[in-house]
Amino acid sequence: MSKRFRLFVYASLLFLCWYLWRHDFLVVPKVRSFGLLSASFVFLVGGFLGGALAWNRILSRSGVDSSPGECVASMGLSIFGKYIPGKLWMILGRAAYIAQRRGESLATLSAISLNDQFIGLWVGLVLGTFGLMAIGGVQLFGWLLLFSWISLSVVVFSPWGHQTAERLLKTFLKRSISLPRLKISETCKLLPWFLGYWTTWAIGFSCFVSGLSGIDQGMATGLAFPLAGTLGIIAIFAPGGLGIREGILTAYLKLAGLPLPEATTIAVASRLWFLVGESAFFVLGLVANRHELRSRSAPPSARRNTKESFDGVRRVTRDVERDHRRVEPE
């Protein structure tokens, strides 16, 4: 890691500790099924890994070479950047890692990372809407859902939306940014990857709620997580969406049939649950980064040329020895 990226990681950890202490989210609730709770963590970490694979695929579709290990490292090491006010630090952090490793433009990688975020939000919002329809609660977030869905659809699929987003980025960053424009057909090919990690998270959240409530919860309850995670992003200057996501989860779980006190407890505990998953993914990012440093200590071309050189030396040596045996007197 470069010195700047290392400072970014340290800063994100400091902001994380400060906000957890300030908002008192480190409350451990009563657990009624440790088996389901353990399963929820497996699916939670699996969702993070699925997100890294989706990041890898959108980079590939945008013409940027990257390995799955690099994508895990870039997302894992920058995962706590979301707790720095502004939210954009996590998006910029993973882009900076790939840009440093691959020698690509940071502006281009940041734009691709933003595209990844838009598509992920769009898929999460669609899944969350299906969940609300299943529990009969669409009217609770009706206008907000409609506005968010239309806005994200325009940004993801419309050239006009890309141009508007570019103008907003130029105003915010004080520099021109050109967003890579994926065709609708290419974007649709990416959707299964985003659908995969959101669904994995939804299954994990369903197991989490079941483990704390002692009542088996269906997939409709699990879809509360994509909805809350998506709508929580609207608080773009709130660190990590603290408080916003918990409020949405509480309302959703209440509609799903849980008593209000229990729904509130589970919603608040979900912050600690997700934090444990983020911490595990951060460790995976460290491991992946170390592996990538070892495997890519030399450029692929250099390693290939070195291997070819050694092969050539061995061939020449064998030829010399063979010729020597031919002329050696008996």
Residues 291 and 274 in one domain: yes
Dihedral over alpha carbons 185, 189, 190, 196 (to 10 degrees):
140
Residues in the chain, total: 330
Residues 53 and 179 in one domain: yes
Residues 311 and 242 in one domain: no
Residues 143 and 56 in one domain: yes
Report the candidate in 44, 99, 48 with the shortest Cα–Cα distance to residue 75: 48
Residues 97 and 171 in one domain: yes
> What local confidence, expressed as pLDDT, does residue 142 receive?
67
The H or E element containing residue 32 is none
> What local confidence, expressed as pLDDT, does residue 67 receive?
93
Residues 327 and 222 in one domain: no
Quick check: 27 and 268 in contact, CB under 8 A? yes
- Tell me the backbone φ, ψ of residue 28, rounded to 5 degrees: -95, 115
> What local confidence, expressed as pLDDT, does residue 204 receive?
97
> What local confidence, expressed as pLDDT, does residue 285 receive?
93
What is the extent of the structural domain holding 165?
3-297
DSSP result, 227-290:
HHHHHGGG-TTSGGGTTHHHHHHHHHHHHTT--HHHHHHHHHHHHHHHHHHHHHHHHHHHHHHH
> What local confidence, expressed as pLDDT, does residue 36 receive?
95
Report the candidate in 26, 3, 4, 22 with the shortest Cα–Cα distance to residue 14: 22
Residues 281 and 328 in one domain: no
Residues 210 and 328 in one domain: no
> What local confidence, expressed as pLDDT, does residue 172 receive?
61
Place of tokens 């290419």: 186
Question: Could you give the C-alpha distances from 11 to 71, 90, 137, in angstroms and in order?
Answer: 21, 12, 39
Residues 277 and 293 in one domain: yes
> What local confidence, expressed as pLDDT, does residue 316 receive?
35
Residues 231 and 309 in one domain: no
> Could you tell me the two tokens for 233?
């992003």
> What local confidence, expressed as pLDDT, does residue 13 receive?
76
> What local confidence, expressed as pLDDT, does residue 11 receive?
77
Q: Is the pTM of this model over 0.85?
A: no
Tens of pLDDT, residue by residue over 273-328, are 998 999 999 999 999 999 887 876 544 443 444 344 334 434 534 554 555 454 44
C-alpha–C-alpha distance, residues 91 and 107, integer Å: 11
Tens of pLDDT, residue by residue over 258-277, are 999 999 999 989 988 998 99
> What local confidence, expressed as pLDDT, does residue 329 receive?
47
The count of structural domains within the chain is: 2
> Could you tell me the two tokens for 290?
């170390």
Place of tokens 């105003």: 171
> What local confidence, expressed as pLDDT, does residue 327 receive?
44
Secondary structure in 3-state letters for the chain:
CCHHHHHHHHHHHHHHHHHHHHHCCCCCCCCCCHHHHHHHHHHHHHHHHHHHHHHHHHHHHCCCCCCHHHHHHHHHHCHHHHHCCCCHHHHHHHHHHHHHHHCCCHHHHHHHHHHHHHHHHHHHHHHHHHHHHHHCCHHHCHHHHHHHHHHHHHHHHCHHHHHHHHHHHHHHHCCCCCCCCCCHHHHHHHHHHHHHHHHHHHHHHHHHHHHHHCCCCCHHHHCHHHHHHHHHHHCCCCHHHCCHHHHHHHHHHHHCCCCHHHHHHHHHHHHHHHHHHHHHHHHHHHHHHHHHHHHCCCCHHHHHHHHHHHHHHHHHHHHHHHHHHHHCCC
Q: How many CA atoms lie within 13 A of 132 on its CB side?
A: 22
Angle between helical axes of 142-157 and 224-231 (0-180°, round to 10): 70
> What local confidence, expressed as pLDDT, does residue 73 receive?
94
Q: Would you give the end-to-end CA distance of the chain in angstroms?
A: 62
Residues 31 and 113 in one domain: yes
Segments of the chain with pLDDT less than 70:
1-3, 19-27, 85-87, 140-144, 155-156, 161-162, 165, 168-169, 172-182, 234-243, 296-330
Residues 293 and 265 in one domain: yes
